[in-house]
Amino acid sequence: ETGVTQTPRHLVMGMTNKKSLKCEQHLGHNAMYWYKQSAKKPLELMFVYNFKEQTENNSVPSRFSPECPNSSHLFLHLHTLQPEDSALYLCASGDSPSGSGEQFFGPGTRLTVL
């Protein structure tokens, strides 16, 4: 596989469920990102990891819990979500932003919370 992959592509869950989203990058990048894309809203940065260390948490509710075991893998653990959390969750990777800092995105996980 090449690029940035995400699984699952679609997820439907109830408010009491616990689930996890997975992201894997094959680009040799140091930084990984979680974004939330909701209808009619700009893309929202949720978390940033650089060399496995979290460098940014954009006031995300604790029902979203990220995990970065190494520079190639990123998880988003979900529990007791709300219907308004339904969105497309995008993972991205990139080099450290001292240079051009492009970010490369995966295809996303379409999450529906019932």
Partner 1 sequence: GEDVEQSLFLSVREGDSSVINCTYTDSSSTYLYWYKQEPGAGLQLLTYIFSNMDMKQDQRLTVLLNKKDKHLSLRIADTQTGDSAIYFCAERRDSSYKLIFGSGTRLLVRP
Binding site residues, partner 1, CB under 8 A: 4, 6, 31, 33, 40-43, 45, 48, 50, 55-56, 90, 92, 97-98, 100-108, 110
Q: How far is the CB of 24 from partner 1 (least distance, A)?
A: 14
Q: From CA 11, how far away is CA 2, in angstroms rounded?
A: 23
Q: From CA 1, how far away is CA 83, in angstroms rounded?
A: 33
User: Whose Cβ is closer to partner 1: residue 33's or residue 64's?
Assistant: 33
User: Whose Cβ is closer to partner 1: residue 73's or residue 107's?
Assistant: 107
Q: From CA 72, how far away is CA 25, in angstroms rounded?
A: 5
Q: How far is the CB of 13 from partner 1 (least distance, A)?
A: 19
- Residue-wise DSSP of 34-71: EEEE-TTS--EEEEEEETTEEEEE-S--TTEEEEEEET
Q: How far is the CB of 27 from partner 1 (least distance, A)?
A: 12
User: Whose Cβ is closer to partner 1: residue 13's or residue 45's?
Assistant: 45
Angle at 70 between CA 67 and CA 73, to 5 degrees: 65
Q: How far is the CB of 6 from partner 1 (least distance, A)?
A: 8
User: Whose Cβ is closer to partner 1: residue 32's or residue 113's?
Assistant: 32
On whether the CB atoms of residues 11 and 21 are closer than 8 A, the answer is yes
